[in-house]
Amino acid sequence: MTSTVPAPVARTADGHALQAVLLDMDGTLVDTEGFWWEIEVDVFGALGHQLDEAWRDVVVGGPMTRSAAFLIESTGAAITLAELTVLLNERFEERIAEQVPLMPGAERLLAELARHNVPTALVSASHRRVIDRVLLTLGPERFALSVAGDEVARTKPHPDPYLLAASTLGAHPSRCAVIEDTATGVASAEAAGCRVVAVPSVGVIPPGPGRTIVRSLEEVDLPFLRALITPMN
């Protein structure tokens, strides 16, 4: 799956050029990026290995297989990729069964998008089993669809997840606003041709052409997102 060339942006029937809003999950809508790292530290600690804090920026926001493979290779732990992937997902599900804290502004933004019937998708590198658990907190009815990392041939930082979400919603990528919290996710959305709002959670996201960086979702509302996409006529 490859990115498409942006088409001229015209107004929709409601007078706005924005066709859809695509949102990342961990660290963007729910405050769980730290959960993943804590679990990885615990799991590798039980295997007799201490994780370097500097590795956190390497594994954040990426697909489970990439992050897990990096940690196995870096530590030399005696565990297979398949075993580690299952273990990390199980531990994460146990953790979010106790609590799934929302990021500041997430509840308000999702309610606003739903109130105005804006097509909305959840696009995550997490596996389907994890996304479905988190959706119970976010409200599955607020999303027209969700895309999981284990449902695409190439997940973030490749453009495939966002291209799939846009096409399924019948939207052009250039008319989609994406909200992401990691450099990996931003790279995926920008490669798909979407307009990106970056809300950094772990690590630094530098400024870039067409990229908007905010400190919190509390700075984001529907007029803000609509203003990102300028109609041509």
* Six-digit token string for 19: 């066709």
Dist CA 230 CA 184 (whole Å): 26
Dist CA 46 CA 227 (whole Å): 49
Q: What is the pLDDT along the chain (233 residues), one digit of tens a residue?
A: 333 333 344 445 556 899 999 999 999 999 887 888 899 999 999 999 999 988 887 777 667 788 889 999 999 999 999 999 899 989 988 888 877 899 999 999 999 999 999 999 999 999 898 899 999 999 999 999 999 999 999 999 999 999 999 999 999 999 999 999 999 999 999 999 999 999 998 778 999 988 999 999 999 999 999 999 987 53
Q: What pLDDT is recorded for position 9? A: 42
Catalytic residue among 14, 24, 57, 181: 24
Dist CA 91 CA 97 (whole Å): 10
Dist CA 230 CA 104 (whole Å): 27
Q: What pLDDT is recorded for position 36? A: 83
Q: What pLDDT is recorded for position 6? A: 37
Q: List Cα–Cα distances, 228 to 18, 56, 131, in angstroms.
A: 8, 31, 28
Q: What pLDDT is recorded for position 2? A: 33
Dist CA 176 CA 127 (whole Å): 23
Residue 192 DSSP label: T
Catalytic residue among 26, 57, 132, 181: 26
Phi/psi at 214 (5° precision) = -125, 165
* C-alpha neighbours within 13 Å on the C-beta side of residue 15: 1
Is residue 49 within 8 Å of 41, Cβ to Cβ? no
Clarify whether 181 is annotated catalytic. Answer: no
Longest dimension (CA), the chain: 62
Q: What pLDDT is recorded for position 3? A: 33
Clarify whether 221 is annotated catalytic. Answer: no
Phi/psi at 152 (5° precision) = -125, 150
Taking the whole predicted model, whether its pTM rises above 0.85 is answered as no
Is residue 6 within 8 Å of 193, Cβ to Cβ? yes
Dist CA 213 CA 133 (whole Å): 29
User: Strand pairing partners for 197?
Assistant: 179, 212
